[in-house]
């Protein structure tokens, strides 16, 4: 299987769209007034960029990835707050709801595909 830049970009786009969907669901559950799918995708893009870049910079500076993750999380919450024009508490709720939904879906997909792959592996000749 050949891996290309196009494959990477399509994967990132799908990831941002799925993250945006869960961010939108979280915003609806947190009763954010400006909760649209477009804003959620923009928020998901900002959160992804922040959560990739900030811990990486902190790791390069030998400050620590955990501290970088914490700073990234705080900046991501401010990004959510800014995109949805809501309070910090509602931004935190949006983030929590979207993370919980992503973990549940990730677990279910792993369970479904993990079982399928293990069955294929155990019974292949």
**Three-class secondary structure of residue 64 per DSSP:** coil
**What integer is the mean pLDDT of 29-57?**
90
Largest CA distance in the chain: 58
pLDDT tens digit string along 56-113? 888 888 887 788 889 999 999 999 999 999 999 999 999 998 888 877 877 777 777 6
Looking up tokens 């299987």 gives 1
Other Cβ atoms within 10 Å of 66 Cβ, number: 11
Report the alpha-carbon distance of residue 51 to residue 70 in Å, rounded.
9
Q: Which two tokens stand for residue 21?
A: 């969907």
**Residue 66's pLDDT is what?**
85
Report the alpha-carbon distance of residue 80 to residue 50 in Å, rounded.
11
Report the alpha-carbon distance of residue 37 to residue 23 in Å, rounded.
8
Tell which residue, 109, 105, 111, has the closest CA to residue 26: 105
Average pLDDT value over all residues in the chain = 83
**Residue 124's pLDDT is what?**
45
**Residue 117's pLDDT is what?**
52
**Residue 116's pLDDT is what?**
58
Report the alpha-carbon distance of residue 114 to residue 120 in Å, rounded.
10
**What integer is the mean pLDDT of 27-50?**
91
Percent of the chain with pLDDT over 90: 33
- pTM, two decimals, is 0.76
């Amino acid at each position: 299987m050949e891996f290309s830049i196009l494959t990477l970009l399509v994967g990132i786009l799908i990831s941002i769209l799925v993250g945006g969907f869960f961010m939108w669901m979280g915003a609806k559950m947190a009763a954010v007034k400006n909760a649209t799918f477009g804003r959620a995708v923009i928020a998901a893009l900002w959160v992804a960029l922040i959560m990739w870049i900030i811990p990486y910079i902190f790791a390069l500076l030998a400050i620590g990835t955990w501290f970088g993750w914490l700073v990234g999380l705080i900046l991501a919450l401010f990004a959510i707050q800014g995109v949805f024009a809501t309070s910090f508490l509602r931004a935190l709720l949006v983030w929590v709801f979207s993370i919980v939904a992503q973990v549940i879906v990730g677990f279910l997909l792993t369970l479904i595909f993990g079982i399928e792959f293990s069955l294929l592996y155990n019974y292949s000749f």
